[in-house]
């Protein structure tokens, strides 16, 4: 087995450093992917809401509640009928 001239401890520490760097890149990649996924989800929500609101071009229905005090009372008429 040929030696590269480096002590074994420096090779082990170099490998450990590379593993940490790969692990850090993996975490960064996953967090970036999650951010992109969240962004696409919220863009989809916004587009869906815009399409839902935009499609209302028909008649508009208004619902109002009338209070009894706003109505004017009708005139009462009494009719008496006699039998012949």
pLDDT digits (tens, 9 = 90+) for 3-29: 555 566 677 777 777 777 777 788 889
Tokens of 48: 């869906």
Tokens of 16: 């450990």
How far is the C-alpha of 83 from the C-alpha of 32, rounded, in Å? 95
Q: Model pTM greater than 0.85?
A: no
User: Which sequence spans correspond to the domains of the chain?
Assistant: 8-56
pLDDT at 42 over 60: yes
Split at pLDDT 50, 70, 90, the class of 38 is very high
Find how far residue 4's CA is from the centre of its chain. Answer: 57
Between 78 and 1, residue with greater pLDDT: 78
Q: What is the pLDDT of residues 51-81, one digit of tens each?
A: 887 666 677 788 988 776 766 778 888 888 8
């Amino acid at each position: 087995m040929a030696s590269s001239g480096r002590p074994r401890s420096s090779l082990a520490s170099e490998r450990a450093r590379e593993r940490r760097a790969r692990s850090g890149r993996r975490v960064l990649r996953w967090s970036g992917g999650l951010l992109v996924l969240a962004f696409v989800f919220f863009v989809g929500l916004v587009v869906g809401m815009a399409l839902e609101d935009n499609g209302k071009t028909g008649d508009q229905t208004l619902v109002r509640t009338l209070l009894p005090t706003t109505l004017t009372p009708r005139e009462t008429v009494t009719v008496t009928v006699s039998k012949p």
